[in-house]
Structure 1
Amino acid sequence: MSAALEGKVVLVVGASAGIGADAARVLAGDGASLMLVARGEEPLAALAKELDAAGHDVGYCPGDVSRAADVVRFVDATVERFGRLDGAFNNAAMTQAGRLDQVSETDFDQLMAVNVKGTWLCLREEIRVMAAAGAGSIVNVSSIGGLRGSSGMGAYQASKHAVIGLTRTAAHDVGPLGIRVNVVAPGPTETPMLEKTRQAIPGGVEARIAATPLRKAGTGAEVGSVVSFLLSDRASHLSGVVLPVDGGFVA
């Protein structure tokens, strides 16, 4: 851990488990004050209690990224609690497996509502606050599935391609306002979501790990370390970057 984020206030969306929770631990260890957001209050409260016990300044606010009013509420709650918003990690996402012609319209709409609309809503409200301050750094979460195609997860991959498009456009839109926007693209990462993929596509995860130069899945903390770098002043001239955290899979 370092002091790279000392004095910064960071909003972590999708913080209840997996990459979001692990990243929150890294960001807190690097000195950030955090507002944690996810749909479920109980896991948020548990993580906030854990970080508070370790001496970190943490708040939490339940919310659904697919609902505009919720996003306004938790962004405003961050400013009310801490007085500012310096960085955000937009990590809320869901996965869905199935051949494109076998995905239901309901499932497709739900996936897009969380992964794409939710990212856009978070960007919109975070930019509103950061533009007023004239500075800020935002990191969105995509996937190596946003960089290439493969069978069995087309709807998910389409959503992750869209997140990269949103990020690149946002970097152009708000760079003149002093705001940086980047995106991480994790490969297989040991999380509850990865377990769902293992069950839905038998052998698929193991095949990807076998094709990864480092021959292992990543961890949420490894992704969190990259997010911390992108949010910090060490990355002050990086914007619009798509950074794979994948053990070399897309190399």
Structure 2
Amino acid sequence: MGKLDGRVVLITGAARGQGEQEARLFAAEGARLVLGDVLDAPGEALAKELAEELGEGRAVHVHLDVTREQDWAAAVAVAKERFGRIDGLVNNAGILRFNELVSTPLDEFQAVVQVNQTGCFLGIKAVAPEIEAAGGGTIVNTASYTGVTGMAGVGAYAASKHAVVGLTRVAAVELAGKGIRVNAVCPGAIDTPMSNPEGVDPAATAELYRHLVPLGRIGRPEEVAALALFLTGEDSSYITGQPFVIDGGWLAGVRLF
């Protein structure tokens, strides 16, 4: 028996990285999935793969630009048509840009905020009423290690992820009476295409993380997926409004030897 048997969960940014691993793990635990992403080809391929492995009707891909209300409305409509309801949301979609704060163009800052912060807000706004109608459920927002501290070179990203933590806490308070728990995962350095857009061999940066992170390595997206599963399932039934840092101990302090 899976931990998410009978659950219908919408995951954004599901075509690769953390979202893909969340989709694979959630499907293995019995969930039926709506996989939202702007990357249609890999999203459709993943939905097809999961259907072939676990049975027809277990997953469907939808084109979802999280900054567009009409895309959210369409995703909700597909979920209700295919599965009858939604009782879980993972707001995973996000983008990362590297720049000194005073050198960041306004359009770059706004683009990061639109995807990471506004996208999360629109997801809560569009899906929370559906979760309430289904009798309650969960929302897991993807914030960041930088959402609870600072980091040079990622000002727009850090600002947007601080906002996600704030949205998580407000939503948890407002939605608790409707049977909806809302929490945030706050990953540190995780080996995904977003954090490594140029595809640098992880072995080339292994020495950096050996010194930077107390556990001595970069994180794996499947480790973040396991945390999202915990926050989506009944094992976390008395937890809401919390940011969960998953960073190998980075926030605790830098390892120098």
Q: Give the TM-score taking structure 1 as reference length.
A: 0.93
Hey, what's the Cα distance between the residues in 1 that align with 2:35 and 2:183? 20
Residue equivalent to 1:12: 11
Map of 2:195 onto structure 1? 194
Worse-matched range after superposition: 68-77 or 159-168: 68-77
User: What is the deviation of 1:115?
Assistant: 0.5
RMSD (Å) for aligned C-alpha atoms: 1.8
Deviations 1:133-187 (A, max 9, x none): 3301010001101111021111110001000000010000100111000000011
1:32-43 superposed matches below 5 A: 32-43=31-42
Q: Is the 8 A contact 1:188 1:205 kept in 2?
A: no
- Match for residue 27 of structure 1? 26
How far off its partner does 1:76 sit? 2.1
Task: Report what 2:95 is aligned to.
Answer: 94
- For residues 38-89 of structure 1, the C-alpha deviation after alignment (integer angstroms, 9 at most, x for no partner) is 0121111111111112114111111100011111110221121101111111
User: Aligned partners of 1:171, 1:208: CA distance in 2, in Å?
Assistant: 34
Task: Give, in whole Å, the separation in 1 of the partners of 2:210 and 2:172.
Answer: 31
Amino acid corresponding to residue 238 of structure 2 in structure 1: H
* Corresponding residue SS for 1:139: strand
Alignment of 1:33-182 (within 5 A): 33-56=32-55, 57-182=58-183
After TM superposition, which residue ranges in structure 1, 4 or more long, deviate above 4 angstroms?
203-209
| SS of the residue 1:149 aligns to | coil
Query: Aligned letter for 1:21?
Result: E
- Aligned-pair identity in percent equals 38
- 1:207 deviates by 4.3
Structure 2 residue matching 1:61: 3-state secondary structure: strand
3-state secondary structure, aligned to 1:215: coil
Length-normalised TM-score, structure 2: 0.91
Give the distance between the partners of 2:29 and 2:106, measured in 1 at CA.
42
- Decide whether the 8 Å contact of 2:215 with 2:248 is kept in 1: yes
CA–CA separation in structure 2 for the residues paired with 1:208 and 1:197? 18
Distance 1:239 1:153 in 2: 28
Letter paired with 1:33: R
The one-letter code matched in structure 1 to 2:17 is G
Specify whether residues 128 and 10 from structure 1 end up closer, same or farther in structure 2 by C-alpha distance, changes over 3 A only.
same
Structure 2 runs not aligned, ≥5 long:
253-257
1:196 Cα deviation after fit: 3.2
Q: CA deviation at 1:197?
A: 8.4
Secondary structure at the residue paired with 1:164? Answer: helix
CA contact (8 A) 2:206 2:217 kept: no
Q: In 1, Cα distance between the equivalents of 2:198 and 2:164?
A: 20
Structure 1, unpaired ranges of 5+: none
Match in the other structure for 1:228: 229
